[in-house]
Amino acid sequence: MTGSDADADQLHRPGMLQSLLGLRRPVVMGILNVTPDSFSDGGRFFDAAVAIDHAGDLVAQGADILDIGAESTRPYGGAVPVPVEEEIRRLERVLPPAVRLGVPVSVDTMKAAVAEWALARGAAMINDVWGLQRDPELARVIAQAGVPVVIMHNREQPDPSLDIMAELSAFFERSLEIAATHGIPRHHIVLDPGIGFGKTPEQSLTAIARLRELQAFGVPLLVGGSRKRFIAKVSPAEPHQRVGGSIAAHLIAVANGAAIVRVHDVFETVQALRVAEAIRDAG
């Protein structure tokens, strides 16, 4: 087995997710978008060398997981659909070097073919923004690989009239049924309320405020509020100016039961979480 194969095997080991969740602190997932059109940093890391350098920076700053996305799924419209071949082409430049950095790598994709390709090359987790409800083959691929999956809630359009917590519960029930049918074990599942996706800003705020209700599903919860539009609804700012709001959202999310936070600003988030923990311990 080569060194890179050994690394990939290590990151595929049974219990990877449980090991991370056993750290007795929130797990920090660092975002790496290798796309030209993501809402927050579109184009900044499209160059492979720049992306690989940034991945190393995120790990050095304290990221426990890297989440690499090669197709923008920005929730406010305008994202350009990417064919399977192009998504793989973008990933193949950065995934192998990212795997060698020594932390688990999640791939943010809704396509079974992309997931299968990535898992064969060392990805340790799949993050599906459509919660296994878009590509009918994705659950099968994940089950066969034996890796964890993030099941995120999504809708095509926001509906202000919805009881968002009831909507989240109904969506997750469907996704969990799909996962069970294909043999994905419950302990490999993380639920993500999909802050900003198919929701009004008010519904995103509610989802974070009432996050603890989702603990009834008995699986870890992930919150990705980083630089999202709901922050600007409270305090107007451009995406790169929403670091403070992102940290506030993630601290509240952790207090309300989030086990994982997905962030652009790893150093600042890790610092905030450590200080919050130190204050609690001092009490």
Token look-up 């499209």 returns 46
CATH of the domain at 179: 3.20.20.20
Q: 33 has which bridge partners?
A: 69
Task: With respect to residue 10, please indicate whether it lies within any of the assigned structural domains.
Answer: no
Q: Is residue 8 one of the residues assigned to a domain?
A: no
In a domain, 111, yes or no: yes
For the annotated catalytic residues, the residue numbers are 228, 262
For 43, the domain range is: 26-282
Other CB atoms within 10 Å distance of the CB of residue 37: 15
Question: Which has the minimum average pLDDT: 35-49, 60-74, 118-132, 191-205?
Answer: 35-49
Q: What integer best gives the mean pLDDT of the chain?
A: 91
Indicate the number of domains in the chain.
1
Residue 21 lies in a domain: no
- How far apart CA 135 and CA 254 sit, in angstroms, is 30
What pLDDT is attached to residue 6? 41
CB of 193 within 8 A of CB of 214? yes
Using alpha carbons, select from 89, 28, 92 the residue that is nearest to residue 63: 28
Which residues touch 220 (CB under 8 Å, ≥6 apart)?
17, 21, 190, 191, 259, 260
pLDDT band at 44 (very low <50, low <70, confident <90, very high): low
List, for residues 74-131, the tens digit of each pLDDT value: 655 556 788 999 999 999 999 999 999 999 999 999 999 999 999 999 999 999 999 9
17 within some domain? no
The values of phi and psi at residue 78, to 5°, are: 95, -10
Is residue 227 assigned to a domain?
A: yes
C-alpha to C-alpha distance for 74 and 276, rounded to whole angstroms? 30
| Helices 243-255 and 201-209, packing angle to 10 deg | 40
Cα–Cα distance measured from residue 268 to residue 272, given in angstroms and rounded to the nearest whole number: 6
Give the number of residues written for the chain.
283
| Any domain includes 4 | no
Please check whether residue 151 lies inside any domain of the structure: yes
